[in-house]
Amino acid sequence: MIEQKLLNCLALDYPSEKLEIIVISDGSDDRTDEIVRRYASERVKLLADGERHGTPARMNQIVEMARSQIVVLSDANTMYKPDAIKALVRHFSDEKVGAVCGELHLTGPGGEIESESLYWRYEVMLKFMENKLGLVLGSNGGLYAVRKELFTPIPDDTIVDDFVIPMLIRSKGYRIVYDPETMADEHTTGTLHGELVRRRRIAAGNWQAAVMLRPMLNPLNGAIAFSFWSHKIFRWSVPIAMIGLLAVNIALVTAPTYTVLLGMHILFYAAVVAGHFGEPSSLMGRLCKVPHVLVGMNIGLLWGLVRYLRGSQKVTWDRVGRAEIPPPPASAAPEATAEPFLPAASAPSGPIETLEPDDSAPDDAETKELPAVEPPHEVDDNPNK
């Protein structure tokens, strides 16, 4: 996957002399380091020492190294549209903007567009409305940019860095902007186990972040505290509410009304089971998809909460199999000869891109794969898409 990501970064519509790509290889045990070294140049650099320190520690190192004013962070499995960095950095012409995130289009191993699901469209709608109110919380980890001067080094045990980093910037009084015109494709595992592992990790990190950022939950913070409670804390608590609701329903089942409600409960969870074992393309599979996805997501949230309370969630990533990503067109590849690609290492690895300002685009970018970007002398607020 890392080779596809490198080719994607090298093909971005951004002045090549102003783009630095730094790949973080955190104890990779496959061919990641070897592949990156084949592309090594003034533009492509590798940060690797054979040890596993975790993404947060590596990101602290990389942001300090980045030479530009703006750092764009990404993931190895996130492929940017050609104009993505230009679209991200244009917002930094506003001095009150501290971070910008784009829109991810999620695709499964068969190329199906998971971002067209009902839940994902709901999330995008919420973020769009929050953006209009200036209340965006966090970002999409594969596609966001921050001002280097506002970056606060995060603890080495931080699990969801893409939420904590923008929120720390927001706590300094700067805005987080969501730009739906800045797009990238992210390839998911496409397996139930892989998605549960991902969800439990994010859930554990969410609760950790809530504790780290607890001053922002103070109602005296106004609208941002309301958004944090309503969009994050209450939603993360849904699995607890679901268990409580079922327990109360069972306790009150002697009353006729609650007997009916218990029957509806049973039908709902029967639909979850049918959705799990049924054929997705069948009528039953389609009808049961929503309850199946809803309960699966909340199982992940509850599992993550338990792991956080037990302190058993690791910071480092375990490898999860992914579908191979189609390579970019041959015209986008550099002169170096590319050997067959093997899946990237267990820890996320990726490039950092650093951009210097020019007359039409900002200057530096970075990715977990870090692209780093610096705003230009003049920023085009309406670049061609």
- With respect to residue 310, please indicate whether it lies within any of the assigned structural domains: yes
Shared domain for 73 and 176, answered yes or no, is yes
Query: Quick one: 286 and 260 in the same domain?
Result: yes
**131 within a domain of the structure (yes/no):** yes
Determine the 3-state secondary structure of 29 from DSSP: coil
Comparing 46 with 192, which gets the higher pLDDT?
A: 46
Q: Residues 35-54: what's their mean pLDDT?
A: 83
Domain annotation covers residue 254: yes
For 79, other C-beta atoms within 10 Å of its C-beta total: 26
Cα angle, residue 195 at apex, residues 287 and 199 outer, rounded to 5°: 105
CA-derived radius of gyration, the chain: 22
| Cβ atoms of residues 93 and 379 within 8 Å | yes
Residue 71 pLDDT class (50, 70, 90 cuts):
very high
Residue 258 phi, psi (nearest 5) = -75, -20
Of 305, 320, 335, which one is at a domain's C-terminal end? 320
**Mean model confidence pLDDT for the chain:** 79
B/e letters for 108-138, b = 16+ CB within 10 Å, e = fewer, are ebeeeebbeeeeeeeeeebbeebbeeebbbb
Looking at residue 157, what is its pLDDT?
92
User: Are 127 and 27 members of one domain?
Assistant: yes
- Same domain (yes/no): 43, 113: yes
379 found inside a domain: no
What confidence score (pLDDT) does residue 305 get?
94
pLDDT score of 319: 54
In a domain, 378, yes or no: no
Model confidence at 118: pLDDT above 80: no
Window from 19-23, 201-205, 279-283 with minimum mean pLDDT: 279-283
CA nearest neighbour of 9 among 385, 384, 370 = 370
Q: What is the pLDDT of residues 254-287, one digit of tens each?
A: 999 999 999 999 999 999 999 888 887 788 878 8
Do residues 202 and 303 both lie within one domain?
yes
24 and 157, same domain (yes or no): yes
Tell me, what CATH number does 105's domain have?
3.90.550.10
Domain identity same for 125 and 156? yes
Alpha carbon distances (Å) from 105 to 70, 135, 212, 324, 353? 24, 22, 29, 16, 21
**pTM of the shown model:** 0.78
**Residue 380 counted as domain residue:** no
Pair (170, 80) in one structural domain = yes
Q: Are residues 269 and 315 in the same domain?
A: yes
Structural domain boundaries enclosing 88: 2-189+323-373
Same domain for 129 and 34 = yes
Query: Quick one: DSSP state of residue 251?
Result: H
Report the 10 Å Cβ neighbour count for 213.
18
Please provide the DSSP assignment of 312-345 as one string: ---SSPPP---PPPPPPPGGGS-SSPPPPP-PPP
Are 165 and 120 in the same domain?
yes
Cα dihedral 249/253/259/264 (nearest 10):
20
Residue 161 — pLDDT band, cuts 50, 70, 90?
Answer: very high
Residue 94 reports pLDDT greater than 80: yes
DSSP symbol at 350? B
Which residues make Cβ contacts (< 8 Å) with residue 248, sequence separation at least 6? Answer: none
Please check whether residues 170 and 199 belong to one and the same domain.
no
- Per-residue pLDDT for 251 more than 70? yes
- Tell me whether residue 161 is in a domain: yes
pLDDT score for 108: 65
In a domain, 382, yes or no: no
CA distance 81 to 90: 15
User: Based on the structure, what is the number of domains in the chain?
Assistant: 2
Q: Does residue 297 register a pLDDT over 50? A: yes
